[in-house]
């Protein structure tokens, strides 16, 4: 993806994204409802380039909007993609790693879970997600990694809202967070990016 395509991602956010009340940037026409497969491919390749020095064995995300960029990264790395489920279904047998997560957009608390079959202490995990705002979802995924005994390869984010505290707090705690597009501010009609 490189620098030019990161600019292409920003241009796409400006062109097709919609600013909603509550500091919400709606990008469902290409990222988290309808998907642009070529953009997802480029995003996965960029995460691979950024974390190529890490011996990644698994990609971890949270359902559902993180699945597409995580799958693209999994294809680029050639490793399995695991997503934390927000509800334990009847086909999720056995024990699970779980953590509570507060959803900023849904204004609700839920429990995310990953089966112990798909994550263990031998794994070197790269977290991939579509958005980073307050960091609550990532904190839940980090707790799941901690419970499993796996190590963290890094955290890759498609779009970060740097005016919210999530990314800064994670970085201040020494966590390797890389975001492809960083939104510094949102006006009534536009987004302003960090350079």
**What digits encode the pLDDT tens for the residues 23-67?**
888 898 898 888 999 999 999 999 999 999 999 999 999 988 999
Q: Are 153 and 126 in contact (CB under 8 A)?
A: yes
Contacts of 17 (CB under 8 A, 6+ apart): 25, 26, 27, 191
**What pLDDT shows up at residue 188?**
77
Task: Tell me the mean pLDDT in the region 102-121.
Answer: 88
Residue pointed to by tokens 């390869």: 153
**What pLDDT shows up at residue 53?**
97
Q: What CA–CA distance (Å, rounded) separates 25 from 33?
A: 13
**What pLDDT shows up at residue 13?**
93
User: Among residues 150, 145, 142, which one has the least CA distance to residue 175?
Assistant: 142
**What pLDDT shows up at residue 108?**
83
Torsion angles phi and psi, residue 51, rounded to 5: -115, 20
Give whichever of 12-26, 55-69, 75-89 has the largest mean pLDDT.
55-69
Torsion angles phi and psi, residue 25, rounded to 5: -110, 115
Using omega within 30 degrees of 0 as the cis cutoff, is the peptide bond preceding 64 cis?
yes
Torsion angles phi and psi, residue 154, rounded to 5: 160, 180
Is the confidence at residue 164, as pLDDT, over 70?
yes
* pLDDT band for position 90 (cuts 50, 70, 90): low
User: Could you give the residue ranges of the DSSP H alpha helices within the chain?
Assistant: 2-16, 37-50, 67-77, 136-148, 166-172
**What pLDDT shows up at residue 29?**
87
User: Among residues 58, 46, 48, 43, which one has the least CA distance to residue 114?
Assistant: 58
**What pLDDT shows up at residue 22?**
79
Domain at 2-193, CATH from 3.10.20.30, 3.30.1360.200, 3.90.180.10, 3.40.50.2020: 3.40.50.2020
Q: Are 59 and 51 in contact (CB under 8 A)?
A: no
**What pLDDT shows up at residue 133?**
92
Task: Tell me the mean pLDDT in the region 92-96.
Answer: 75
**What pLDDT shows up at residue 24?**
85
The residue among 91 and 1 whose pLDDT is bigger is: 91
DSSP state of 135: -
Average pLDDT, rounded, for the chain: 91
Share of the chain above pLDDT 70, in %: 93
pLDDT tens for each residue of 101-111: 987 667 888 89
Token pair for 26: 């709606």
**What pLDDT shows up at residue 41?**
95
Is the confidence at residue 75, as pLDDT, over 70?
yes
* pLDDT band for position 168 (cuts 50, 70, 90): very high
């Amino acid at each position: 993806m490189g620098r030019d395509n990161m600019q292409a991602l920003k241009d796409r956010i400006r062109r097709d994204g919609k600013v909603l009340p509550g500091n919400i940037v709606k990008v469902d026409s290409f990222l988290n409802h309808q998907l642009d497969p070529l953009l997802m491919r480029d995003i996965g390749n960029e995460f691979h380039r950024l974390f190529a020095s890490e011996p990644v064995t698994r990609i971890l995300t949270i359902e559902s909007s993180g699945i597409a960029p995580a799958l693209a990264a999994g294809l680029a790395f050639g490793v399995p993609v695991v997503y934390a489920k927000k509800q334990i279904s009847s086909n999720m047998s056995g024990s699970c790693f779980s953590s509570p997560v507060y959803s900023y957009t849904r204004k609700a608390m839920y429990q995310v879970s990953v089966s112990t079959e798909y994550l263990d202490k031998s794994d070197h995990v790269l977290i991939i997600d579509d958005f980073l705002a307050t960091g609550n979802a990532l904190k839940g995924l980090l707790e799941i990694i901690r419970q499993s005994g796996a190590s963290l390869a890094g955290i890759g984010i498609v779009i970060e809202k740097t005016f919210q505290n999530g990314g800064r707090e994670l970085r201040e705690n020494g966590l390797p967070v890389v975001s492809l597009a960083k939104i510094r501010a949102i006006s009534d009609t536009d987004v302003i990016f960090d350079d």
